[in-house]
Amino acid sequence: MRSTRIGVRIRTGDVPAAFAEIADFGRFPALADDVREVTVDESGSDWVVNFRRGLMRWHEEETVDAAALRIEFDQTEGDFAEFHGSWQLTPVLGGAVVMFDITYDFGIESMAGLMDPIAERVIKRVVCSVLSGLFGDVTVTEGGEALADLNPGRAA
């Protein structure tokens, strides 16, 4: 099992509105090349994401707490043995810091050394792509090591 985190500073004059934009997962395929499809319905969302030379698929349930600026998600079925995490916005002067935390396990211990770092990079790249697509230039404040070869100013 692997846990990872990325913190990204966004510019916004309206943090609650920014939170609502992030919570609109159905927009993610238009914002991040690695996200092929997100279908949102009353039970949660179905995801299809590029992974290596194939696709990862899962269904997750989300708990959205607009007052706390927090989204928690848990996979209910899919390609991971375990997959859960959260988005948390914290207002700062001129914007917000978005913390994305995730814990995942593919359930194949012998492949963890190969698959986990690839998954971490894809996950962090998606987060940065979505946030830069929504808010323009972003700054990675924590956890950007997996993205070192990308433009550090935008991080995606």
- The residues pairing with 119 across neighbouring beta strands, listed in sequence order, are none
Query: Does 50 reside within a domain?
Result: yes
Tell me, what amino acid is at 136?
Answer: G
Question: What is the domain-level CATH number for residue 58?
Answer: 3.30.530.20
- 136 part of a folded domain: yes
Decide if 153 is inside a domain: no
**Residue 78: what are its φ and ψ, rounded to 5°?**
145, -165
In a domain, 154, yes or no: no
Would the pLDDT of 150 be above 90? no
pLDDT tens per residue, range 114-144:
677 778 888 999 999 999 999 999 999 998 8
Once rounded to an integer, what is the mean pLDDT over residues 53-70?
95
Nearest Cα to Cα of residue 53 among 105, 149, 107, 122: 122
Q: Which residue segment(s) compose the domain that 53 sits in?
A: 2-147
Does residue 121 lie within any of the structural domains? yes
The tens digit of pLDDT for each residue in 31-52 reads: 999 999 999 999 999 999 998 8
Query: Is 156 a member of any domain?
Result: no
Q: Number of folded domains in the chain?
A: 1
Q: Name the pLDDT band for 146 (thresholds 50, 70, 90).
A: low
Q: pLDDT averaged over the chain? A: 90
> What pLDDT score does 155 carry?
43
**pLDDT at residue 112, rounded to an integer:** 62
The span from the CA of 133 to the CA of 116, in Å, is 25
Q: What angle do CA 36, 42, 48 make, to 5 degrees?
A: 15
Asked whether residue 153 carries a pLDDT value surpassing 50, the answer given is no
Q: Quote the pTM value.
A: 0.89
What average pLDDT does range 8-22 have in this prediction?
Answer: 97
pLDDT, mean of residues 73-88:
96
pLDDT band at 149 (very low <50, low <70, confident <90, very high): low
pLDDT at 113: 66
pLDDT on residue 71: 98
